[in-house]
Structure 1
Amino acid sequence: MPAPIKNNVSAFLHPFSHMPTLAESGPVVIDHGRGIYVFDEQGRKYLEGNSGLWNVVLGFDNPALVAAAREAYAKLPAYHAFFGRVARAGLDLAQRLVDMAPMPADRVFFANSGSEANDSVVKMLWLMAEAEGQPQRKTILTRWNSYHGTTVMTASLTGKAYNQAFGLPLAQVKYVMNPHHWREGRPGESELEFSARCAADLEARITELGADTIAGFFAEPVMGAGGVVPPPEGYFQAIQPVLRRHGIPLVADEVICGFGRTGERWGSITYGMTPDIVVASKVITAGFFPMGAVILSPEITARVEAASAKYDEFPHGFTTGAHPVGCAIAMAVLDQIEQGGILKHIQAVSPLFQRRLKALADHPMVGEARGIGLMGALEIVADKPTKQAFPGQWDVSEKIAGVALKHGLIVRPLGSAVVLAPPFIITEAEIDELFSILERTLDEVHASVMKLAA
């Protein structure tokens, strides 16, 4: 691991960072980036195997995005979208998102992050329920192991135990089954059978709570921060009829999957989802500007507008939502993905990425190698037949991330998994480089944990 840098490090509170590693080695201070690589202050080079945080997908020095930002800053460096005033770039981007949505859509609301966008959706659902004479319709359904953000509400939607540290979840949030077939499936249960059981669990939960108390259901097409967990076969085809039958809107959290990560424009397309609301962020600006977007179906738009009429306005918004510079950057990003050949490039290189990923299933420490498009994860286990993880105090996934870093590769540890989500511009040669480093890393860490186990 790089030696700690002593100046200024004590003033910074690191989010979602492994504290023992920080205490031992200090932070890696990133200085600049070129293509899919970043460089620290000592000049060491790292292949960014997670696109930063899923988002810097077009390179860390993309000249077209820099130029779009520079031009936008020179023209109108800041404005809001309150009181009927908005920059032209906001209108243009909204129309573009409506046109490319995975379902019929007609309105877009802008926030500054995926967390804010998901939080905004909950307020919209509650606004509609209140106005429609159903104030009891406050329950939000989500899934164990999902991730939807870090605000108080979206941390509640995130089905992970660590949010208990904040006294969460809020009472209005309820969970249904984690759709991870490898982890949750019964012996001999096929993916289709498991999907049917997930749908039955959803039906039972709705019956238990009362359909007239439920405002909406949130789902990522692929669980991202849950460890890149694609849905089992037939999953959304099984649960969507349940939601429709009970009049419960489906919210597709496309923060990670949206704009190409799964190999399609949307994860919803990949997995046959027809959402009522789509939430996008991350890739929308390729990490060059904070932005989140909520895309509404015509039915939801009509209901939100009818509910807002009581107040003569939609009573919600963010100062920097629809920021003119962010919207200009987003337009340039979508130009590259849609017209610039990036989506076709993802489709061309993804088969190699998935072949190299799935080949690691044979490694003695890998219980499952899973993924789709340019995203994947390795589930690290101590025993393959029982799927037993290594003792938590061994920090094996952290060790893998640390050794990979030493060899010039950034990967993300997530519980007992190691996650990959490289930039969309990665080449086949760079994919081979990534997996060569990762294979070497796994062998090194395996040798060290075998010594611990001896």
Structure 2
Amino acid sequence: MATTTSDTSRLVQLDRDFMLHPVTNLRQHAATGALIFERGEGVRLWDTDGKQYIDGFAGLWNVNVGHGRKELAEAGRAQLEQLAFQPTFFGLATPPVIELAAKLARMLPGTINHFNFTSGGAESNESAIKIARYYWSIQGKGDKVKILSRMNAYHGIAMGTLSATGIPAYWQHFGPRPEGFVHLSAPYAYRNAGDLDDAGFVDKLIAELEETIAREGADTIAALIGEPIQGAGGVIVPPDSYWRRVSEVLQRHDILLIADEVITGFGRTGAMFGVEQYDVQPDIVSLAKGISSGYIPLGAVGVSDAIYEQMLQPDAMFMHGFTYSGHPVACAVALANIDIIEREQLAANAGEQGAYLLEQLRELDGHQHVGEVRGKGLMMIVEIVADKETKAKFDPAFNAGGKLQSATREHGLIVRCSNDGIAISPPLTLSRDEARQIANICLLYTS
């Protein structure tokens, strides 16, 4: 049953009066008010006026199993009744956190077999960065502290992860940022490759990596952190050989590889984890979002056997963690969520439906304001440009993203629209018919 119009108006006003929304133009929001959702099922959402939408962004890249899964509500309820909270500090544990750690060890490639839990992606990446530095420090290599990242990267916007993030819009007004972070070029062929083919472009990126290591000194660099496919920075799909070549350079220079799988993990790209698309073995993996499909906050950081063996050496406390590291209710929900992802083969479905949706969206390639349509699995973008020949972006004052956002919402589609384009990342339960509906709305508006 939908909320009444008077209730919607009351909630909109309360939102204006008391909410401080993240990543929102607060002045514009105060004028327009919130779009308030009250129900979800599968890939569908309903607002408080009863209007139905397709959730084309899976919440925030994270509702992998779709909305309204009663199995997850039941898993949370059962654990709440049995034991709502115990920490994992001081060697304490609960059955769900132990079972989840063991499950993740079986799922992840290579020797990522040891897990520290968090409440989300930024905490996971903060933890990964700290563990990388800790690993070198306990071996007497305390100068190895620098973190290599890439432009267009998004690793969170806590103070440490903000420095790893390579999107300048997030840096404004929050300085000074912590030092020790060095940004490389993104493997963004549409804007950075020029006339080079994939092989030549990768050669160029690897040369930059080698030059950066030589300039900074390998003995000062702890790790490189990277999303297998960059998400918020523009759904940047690297050339196939990129990550293998990067990994070879890092191994040669004794630099760790941190794979930020916060978005790409748990089936989003068509494989269970993004690194599996590129056949590389990271030393540290950051997880969140799809681990619980957003039903409850949870993240994790996994480390290799080699790192864990070094962490066993000091006769000292590992002085890192959070109150909610390994929350038993969150871990119980995550176990039920992963069971759905595996049982319903949602990674395979993401690959199949993603390929179909991408093919449909590529009908926009000839549009005068579409620069490129790209993606992998169920994460993709229709990049928009003011000028197709020069690839010039729209003037921010034109508010192209805002116009796209209004239009897609009017047509019943929730996606992430910005000055860069339309990012699409629906639940992995997406059907062929639902994929066609998303494509039709995008094609209708841009025709």
1:25-424 alignment to 2 at 5 Å? 25-162=32-169, 163-186=171-194, 188-306=195-313, 309-311=314-316, 313-424=317-428
Alignment partner, residue 440 of structure 1: 444
Q: CA deviation at 1:167?
A: 0.9
| Distance in 2 (alpha carbons) for counterparts of 1:106 and 1:47 | 37
| Distance in 2 (alpha carbons) for counterparts of 1:105 and 1:44 | 44
Q: Deviations over 1:326-368 (max 9, x none)?
A: 1111111111111233233223322211211222222221101
CA contact (8 A) 1:356 1:435 kept: yes
Q: TM-score, normalised by structure 2?
A: 0.95
Q: Give the letter for the 1:349 counterpart.
A: Q
Q: CA deviation at 1:416?
A: 1.7
CA contact (8 A) 1:117 1:279 kept: yes
Q: Deviations over 1:411-439 (max 9, x none)?
A: 10244222000001111111111111112
Asked if 1:430 corresponds to 2:434, the answer is yes
Q: CA deviation at 1:168?
A: 4.5
Q: What RMSD, in angstroms, separates the aligned Cα atoms of the two structures?
A: 1.6
| Distance in 2 (alpha carbons) for counterparts of 1:19 and 1:413 | 17
| Distance in 1 (alpha carbons) for counterparts of 2:28 and 2:198 | 38
Q: TM-score, normalised by structure 1?
A: 0.93
Asked if 1:23 corresponds to 2:30, the answer is yes
Runs of 5+ in structure 1 lacking a partner?
444-454
3-state secondary structure, aligned to 2:85: coil
CA contact (8 A) 1:103 1:276 kept: no
CA distance change for structure 1 residues 375 and 321 in 2, over 3 Å: closer, same or farther?
same
3-state secondary structure, aligned to 1:370: strand
Q: Deviations over 1:164-188 (max 9, x none)?
A: 32114421111111110101112x2
3-state secondary structure, aligned to 1:279: strand
Count how many residue pairs are aligned between Structure 1 and Structure 2. Answer: 438
3-state secondary structure, aligned to 2:300: strand
Q: Give the letter for the 1:366 counterpart.
A: V
| Distance in 2 (alpha carbons) for counterparts of 1:360 and 1:19 | 32
CA contact (8 A) 1:268 1:274 kept: yes
| Distance in 2 (alpha carbons) for counterparts of 1:161 and 1:389 | 16
Alignment partner, residue 451 of structure 1: none
Q: Give the letter for the 2:303 counterpart.
A: L
Q: Deviations over 1:298-329 (max 9, x none)?
A: 111112222xx242x21111111111111111
Q: Give the letter for the 2:428 counterpart.
A: F
| Distance in 2 (alpha carbons) for counterparts of 1:244 and 1:194 | 21
CA contact (8 A) 2:118 2:322 kept: yes
CA contact (8 A) 2:64 2:268 kept: no
3-state secondary structure, aligned to 2:365: helix
Q: CA deviation at 1:24?
A: 3.2
Alignment partner, residue 3 of structure 2: none
Q: CA deviation at 1:279?
A: 0.7
